[in-house]
A and B are shown apart, each in its own frame.
Chain A
Amino acid sequence: MRLILDIFTVVLVSAGAFFFLAGTIGLLRFPDTLTRLHALTKADNLGLGLVVIGLLPRAGGVLYAAKLIGVWLLVLVASSAVSQLIGRAARRGMLQK
């Protein structure tokens, strides 16, 4: 059982790290603001989400697990709102190219 949970953690956290890496490469390589935002959301939503799910079996209690999920939800809310704000500013031409 212990082994299965460990494998679960390693696989999911690695997948999360992969999305962080992919998101960072996209952020650096994509040509304009909107596509960069698209890359960034992958790191925030999928990357952090997978890391959180992977860490759940190691959280050491329901309360700690709920805190981890709470962190993820707060980041989701904040990053989606900020992405919309940046996207709107970009569409109105308020950002420097």
Chain B
Amino acid sequence: MTIASALYIALAILVLALAGWTIFARDDYAAIVGFVTYGLLLSLVWVSLSALDIALTEVAIGGGVTGVLLLEAGARLRGVPVPTGVERPGIIQRVSAAMLCTLVSLGLALTVWILPEPAPTLAPSVAANLAATEMGNPVGAVLLAYRALDTVLESAVLPLALIGVWSLASDRFWGGRPGFQNRVDREGILVFLAQLLPPFGVLMGIYIVLIGADRPGGKFQGGTILAAMWILTRMAGITDTPPINRRWLRIVLIAGPAVFLAVGLAGFVFPGTFLAYPPGFAKPIILIIEAAMTPSIAVALALLLAGPPERKPNE
């Protein structure tokens, strides 16, 4: 056994152990920290499988954004008094939930197990036709050319999720700014960090979007970094979220999916089907879609984290 395979086995055991610990942790905060660490380790697993695109997405969205989302949710729940009587599902409910989850996991494991060897794959035909898309990054080419329908739906999910979060607000708060504005001291280290980091973060986010056509990267990974910079400045009290009834905000949110859908519908006219790109123009069209999607993704993610709109008592 080589040192590398020993390392991979140790990594796999660590990931499994951490997953178990996250499930069995009693304290919600500890479970969230476990989940974030799990995301980081999982991205190492993807790196060791040479799947850099997935590793980037996992670390940005799986570990980063989801982690902050869970932390915010945990912090909100902490202030809420636990309602008596409705808590603690009964033993039958818990056992049946556990059994259902185990069954699903076993089913998935079995499906992987009984896959024919070699597993059915479209990879050779994709690789043979990759040149037609002029994309250097095969993952990006698959996502935006061969599986573009999935990506359209994925991009439409974000605004829908945001509408879902916003609709949790009561009528009085509609049109307010999402999220509490934290009270911060202006001299604090968080303000310093929020002033120092964004220029680098914004540069890196745009770089990762642009490089996505030819190397690992893309709109989701880069958009997440841009969103993180906005969240950082908001946490430090330098910027604030806009009121949710601003027209520019809504235009930015739907611009990306709208451009994507428009390109897809234009495919009916030429060359003939939904989401088909005219021959020879695949790469420029993909770049336009990525550029339009990036601000939508960044704004949607940042506002998802901010939560439903609020109003100060005097507003």
Contacts and interface: CB of A to CB of B under 8 A. Distances in A.
A15 B197 CA distance: 29
- Mostly, the A contact residues are helix
B8 interface: no
* Chain B CB within 10 A, most for which of A78, A81, A85, A88: A81
A85 B189 contact: yes
A77 interface: yes
A62 to B, nearest CB: 18
B190 A81 contact: yes
A9 to B, nearest CB: 16
B200 A74 contact: yes
Interface string A70-97: 0000100110010011001000000000
Nearest to A80: B189
B189 A84 contact: yes
Contacts of B189: 81, 84-85, 88
Interface residues of A, number: 7
Contacts of A77: 193, 196-197
Name the interface size band of chain B: under 10
A85 B190 contact: yes
A84 B192 CA distance: 12
Interface in B181-196: 189-190, 192-193, 196
Contacts of A84: 189
- Mostly, the B contact residues are helix
Nearest to B201: A74
Interface in B170-221: 189-190, 192-193, 196-197, 200
A24 B200 CA distance: 29
A27 to B, nearest CB: 13
B63 to A, nearest CB: 15
A74 B199 CA distance: 12
A92 B143 CA distance: 49
Contacts of B190: 81, 85
A88 B189 CA distance: 10
Nearest to B192: A81
A81 B193 contact: yes
A81 B197 CA distance: 11
A78 B189 CA distance: 10
Interface in A32-77: 74, 77
Contacts of B200: 74
B29 to A, nearest CB: 8
Interface string B73-84: 000000000000
A88 B191 CA distance: 14
Nearest 10 pairs of A and B residues by beta carbon: A81-B193, A84-B189, A81-B189, A85-B189, A85-B190, A77-B196, A77-B197, A77-B193, A81-B192, A74-B200
Interface of B: 189-190, 192-193, 196-197, 200
8 contacts: A77-B193, A77-B196, A77-B197, A81-B193, A84-B189, A85-B189, A85-B190, A88-B189
